């Protein structure tokens, strides 16, 4: 047992044998734990209290090889977006056309183009805004279809950009209306995967859990969910590498 341990602070970054580890304090944590942030390319060591950050650092050091292997398997960063390049939205490729700053998807004689995404050069923020607007309409349509199949009213739908979840649902309760939130980045995933997440959250309007009845509802809507869950588990991190968070 060590009599003296280095003092660490929340948010501190350590270089442990070439692996970058960020220390975090979480009041929700019950024990020291590790996770890999595949988007930022770093490990995160979590402790329930600040005094236990030293324990978290030691735990990370003991698992350095495991962390290195998992970080090495993360998706490669997406190449920069270039004028006349393409980005795929709900399975359809759109050519990037930086001719101003009024981003929009437009299909016409010139083909499918994402117009207004910059002044001469592509601005990723403008690309993201155009995709967000498209996502709202598509998600709302699919939620309407799924809610009708389940026999429930479609609640208001909003977008989010969380790193660790693709959607959330708040069922209706006394004095509280139902709502659904979905990650706009699902527009960059295969359409069937995005539709699965919409169906998943709609099913929560009836079952606020992940029990057998909940999964029965999901399968009624989209069939076997395992392949969609597998895609998100294996490829989901790549959706965060394509575009920045919208400011």
Q: Residue 31's pLDDT band (boundaries 50, 70, 90)?
A: very high
The whole-model pTM stands at 0.73
Residues 177 and 131 in one domain: yes
Residue 132 domain-assigned? yes
Give the domain-ending residue among 43, 72, 101: 72
Query: Among the three residues 72, 100, 120, which one is the final residue of a domain in this structure?
Result: 72
Looking at the structure, tell me whether residues 119 and 232 fall in a common domain: yes
pLDDT above 60: residue 178 = yes
Query: CA angle, 223 as apex, 222 and 228 as ends, to 5°?
Result: 75
Is residue 75 pLDDT above 60, yes or no?
no
* Structural domain harbouring 185: 86-242
Looking at the structure of the chain, the number of domains it has is 2
| CA nearest neighbour of 220 among 201, 195, 199 | 199
Whichever domain contains 176, its CATH number is: 3.30.2010.10
- Residues 223, 115 share a domain: yes
* Residue 226 belongs to some domain of the structure: yes
Which residues have a Cβ under 8 Å from the Cβ of 231 and sit 6 or more positions away? 189, 190, 193
Beta bridge partners of 105: 114
CA distances from 28 to 9, 43, 47, 48, 79 (A): 17, 19, 9, 7, 37
Residue 40: predicted pLDDT:
64
Please check whether residues 99 and 208 belong to one and the same domain.
yes
In the chain, % of residues over pLDDT 70: 93
Nearest to 46 by CA among 169, 182, 164, 209: 164
Dihedral (CA of 126, 131, 135, 138) sign: positive
Q: In this structure, is residue 61 part of a structural domain?
A: yes
In a domain, 96, yes or no: yes
Q: Are residues 66 and 95 in the same domain?
A: no
pLDDT at 80 over 80: no
- 98 and 18 within one domain: no
Residue 56 has pLDDT above 80, yes or no: yes
**Element (DSSP H or E) covering residue 45:** strand 42-47
Residue 18 lies in a domain: yes
Question: Is the domain of 118 the same as that of 206?
Answer: yes
In which band, very low, low, confident or very high, does the pLDDT at 131 lie, cut at 50, 70 and 90? very high
Are 184 and 223 part of one and the same domain? yes
Mean pLDDT in residue range 27-41: 80
User: Can you spell out the DSSP letters for 211-245?
Assistant: SHHHHHHHHHHHS--HHHHHHHHHHGGGHHHHSPP
Boundary-marking domain end, from 38, 72, 106: 72
Is residue 168 one of the residues assigned to a domain?
yes
Contacts of 105 (CB under 8 A, 6+ apart): 89, 94, 112, 113, 114, 115, 130, 133, 134
Same domain, 195 and 163: yes
64 and 93, same domain (yes or no): no
pLDDT at residue 77 greater than cutoff 50: no
Query: Is 152 inside a domain boundary?
Result: yes
165-183 burial string, b = 16+ CB within 10 Å, else e?
A: ebbebbbeeeeeebbbbbb
Is there a single domain that holds both residue 116 and residue 212?
yes
The reported pLDDT for the residue numbered 74 is 59
**Tens digit of pLDDT for each residue in 39-55?**
566 789 999 999 999 99
Within-domain flag for 3: no
């Amino acid at each position: 047992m060590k009599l003296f341990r280095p003092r660490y602070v929340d948010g501190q970054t350590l270089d442990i044998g070439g692996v970058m580890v960020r220390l975090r304090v979480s009041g929700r944590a019950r024990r020291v734990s590790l996770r890999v942030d595949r988007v930022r390319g770093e490990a995160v060591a979590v402790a329930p209290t600040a005094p236990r950050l030293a324990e978290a650092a030691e735990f990370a050091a003991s698992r350095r090889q495991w962390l290195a292997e998992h970080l090495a398997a993360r998706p490669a960063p997406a190449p920069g977006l270039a004028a006349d390049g393409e980005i795929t939205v709900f399975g359809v490729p759109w050519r990037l056309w930086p001719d101003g700053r009024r981003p929009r998807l437009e299909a016409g004689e010139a083909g499918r183009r994402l117009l207004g995404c910059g002044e001469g050069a592509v601005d990723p923020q403008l690309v993201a805004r155009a995709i967000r607007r498209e996502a709202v309409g598509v998600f709302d349509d699919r939620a309407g279809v799924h809610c009708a199949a389940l026999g429930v009213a479609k609640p208001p739908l909003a977008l989010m950009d969380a790193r660790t979840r693709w959607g959330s649902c708040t069922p209706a309760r006394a004095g509280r209306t139902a709502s659904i939130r979905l990650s706009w980045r699902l527009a960059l995933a295969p359409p069937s995967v995005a539709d699965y997440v919409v169906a998943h959250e709609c099913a929560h309007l009836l079952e606020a859990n992940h029990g057998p009845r909940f999964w029965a509802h999901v399968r009624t809507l989209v069939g076997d969910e395992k392949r969609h869950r597998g895609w998100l588990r294996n490829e989901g991190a790549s959706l965060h590498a394509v575009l920045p968070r919208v400011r």
